[in-house]
Amino acid sequence: MNGIKPKHESIETDPVRLLARKFLEHLEIELSRSPRTIDSYGLSLKKFFVTAHIRTPEDITLERIREYRLHLNRETTPTGEPLRKTTQTYHVVVLRAFLKYLAKEDIVTVPAEKIEVGKTPTRQVDFLELEEIERLLSSASGDSLRSLRDRAILELLFSAGLRVSELTSLDRDHVNLNKGEFSIRGKGAKLRIVFLSDDAGDALFRYLEKRRDMDPALFVAVPIAKKGFVKEGALGDIRLTQRSVQRLVKKYAAKAGIVKDVHPHTLRHSFATDLLQNGADIRSVQAMLGHASITTTQIYTHVTNEHLREIHEAFHAKKKKK
């Protein structure tokens, strides 16, 4: 590409970088964005500044933005694949958010509304059928603390539709087994109520009854005694990491003979799909998932579209069939 090329030297005191720092602080303080989101926004903005040679707000022009988007469209990953459209769209969304912030601060630059995000391909949702869910849950059987913990994790992921980050952040005193519900703080520090199925409540009760430690975390690493020493958790029980839960889910999916690539988020998708298949309205599912926008929940149109077909076949042109 003969247009813009990456420029590796950077001046951290450039006016636009100082503004970007204030923007990221705004995300943290006023909008309560997670550290991971803030880091991701920062990297995306840095990519734009370096690639498009941006040092001041005045450097941000429609032409440079156009060339930057062309660069993104022609960029390839280390494996030689083009950047996914969703990734390209993400960079544009971050840039628009930054421009909106500049406008709010009365800094003259390109208006955010002049940048069209563009359409992205419909996201494919991977979920498990009910029979696969039953096999997955049954694969975590046994009375050991580890087995009881793993079964409780799988049951809770499916019962409450939790994100893996939400699950690993739970403490024991967060969960009310008597009421079968509890509050969870999700993305953007938004609070929502989640509910436990009877099976999930029972699995959690049996797991917690077996615990003998005093660690406040709901899910902890279980020590493995091997040849006279403790291999895991030797310094005491520790909170499970997101990566540990991801490995755990994959292990039981393989044990259950499920050939799909199963992640904790697959169970969240399965939770939403199951609700919709059983007649829940999409607004209720939005609330239970903690989505800020209904647009995010609409990735489950594969389910709602099927219901529309059933309604059409059940009620359309009934008089003609008589």
pLDDT of residue 95: 95
Q: Is residue 316 part of a domain?
A: no
- Structural domain for 212, as ranges: 130-310
pTM value is 0.66
Q: Is residue 229 part of a domain?
A: yes
Q: Is residue 123 part of a domain?
A: no
Number of domain units in the chain: 2
pLDDT tens-digit series, residues 170-184: 999 999 899 998 888
Asked if pLDDT for residue 79 goes beyond 90, the answer is no
What whole-number percentage of the chain has pLDDT above 90?
51
CB neighbour class for 293 (10 Å; exposed up to 12, middle 13-18, buried from 19): exposed
The reply to whether 84 and 150 lie within a common domain is no
In whole angstroms, give the CA distance from residue 294 to residue 259: 31
Domain boundary among 114, 142, 175: 114
| CA 302 from centre of chain | 19
pLDDT tens-digit series, residues 192-239: 889 999 999 999 999 999 998 888 999 999 876 554 434 433 444 589
pLDDT tens-digit series, residues 111-132: 999 998 876 555 667 888 889 9
Is 58 within 8 Å of 52 (Cβ atoms)? no
In whole angstroms, give the CA distance from residue 160 to residue 206: 18
Q: Is residue 275 part of a domain?
A: yes
Asked if pLDDT for residue 299 goes beyond 90, the answer is no
The reply to whether 134 and 102 lie within a common domain is no
In the predicted model, what is the mean pLDDT of the chain?
Answer: 84
Catalytic residue numbers, as ranges: 163, 187, 265, 268, 291, 300
Domain boundary among 114, 145, 167: 114
pLDDT classification of 255: cutoffs 50, 70, 90: very high
31 or 99, which is more confident? 99
pLDDT classification of 9: cutoffs 50, 70, 90: very low
Domain boundary among 114, 141, 164: 114
Could you tell me which of 313, 310, 307 has the C-alpha nearest to residue 276? Answer: 307
The reply to whether 89 and 151 lie within a common domain is no
Could you tell me if residue 213 is left (phi over 0), alpha (psi between -120 and 50 degrees) or otherwise beta? beta
In whole angstroms, give the CA distance from residue 169 to residue 184: 9
CATH of the domain at 288: 1.10.443.10
Residue with tokens 């003969």: 2
Could you tell me which of 163, 154, 153 has the C-alpha nearest to residue 136? Answer: 154
CATH of the domain at 52: 1.10.150
